[in-house]
Homo-oligomer: A and B are copies of this chain.
């Protein structure tokens, strides 16, 4: 049996350290929908925002479908349904690529899958999916973190070869708590201090503690970026692809306007999950898909045709 090497140890020491990334950022740059400039931007910054990748009528369909799923889940008591720390409002519903016909189709849609395949240089599958709803006035902040740190330590994702795809369903302004990203932070790995508690996911989805990067590392990363922190603002229908190790967070939403999106994590079919590096039990399937993994066969469905399914 092959020995498992932990390229990215974290939560194993009392102090945090920063190390260089050991994996490529872009696995295949020529083939695919993104042009050279877009790929270069993603490689340099750890993300790329594609303005209005979906049209207004398509966004309307997605928003209606999202509302429908929120309504269906309002009274559902399930780990897959995440509520705000201080209220009964739903923040996220997970596993929509399995539980809902429309979002299953969307998760396979060629317009996004082909980009994930291009960046990851292979066929891909969904590691995690969710729809997010950050309500006006009440949406709480989420502190800086690298998704990969958690996916590696708690889920056993071996390499940095995954990309998150966020389809923005409401206009994202500077003032309604947009995702903030530290450009270039994906080139470094912050090994966090501390250890992973049992069943950490039950609290970390509301407010993360273990796996939270230290202030010194965050300041260092920001200084590497020339003091710049970017915000994923843009009109509804835009799509943000961000690398699994890009440091990101978001402020509270003090505005009256909700911020909702559909969120798919594409992982390379060659980067499937192993046993968690924490030595703990794996997190549940809805957070980290392991069952019956097969590569996505992209579909070219018309999104607009789903307009009437939920009305």
Contacts and interface: CB of A to CB of B under 8 A. Distances in A.
Contact of A173 (B229, B254, B256): B229
Taking chain A's interface residues, is the majority helix, strand, or loop, or is none over half, making it mixed? loop
A27 interface: no
A120 to B, nearest CB: 29
Interface string A137-176: 1000101100000000000000000000000000001110
A173 B222 CA distance: 13
A180 interface: yes
A78 to B, nearest CB: 28
Nearest to A177: B251
A141 B215 contact: no
A201 interface: no
Interface residues of A, number: 25
B143 A254 contact: yes
Interface in A204-238: 215, 218-219, 222-223, 227, 229, 231
Contact of A256 (B175, B215, B256): B215
B219 A256 contact: yes
A238 to B, nearest CB: 18
Contact of A251 (B215, B218, B227, B254): B254
22 contacts: A136-B219, A137-B215, A141-B141, A141-B252, A143-B254, A173-B229, A174-B174, A174-B231, A175-B180, A175-B229, A175-B231, A177-B251, A180-B254, A218-B256, A222-B255, A222-B257, A223-B256, A227-B257, A249-B254, A251-B251, A251-B252, A252-B252
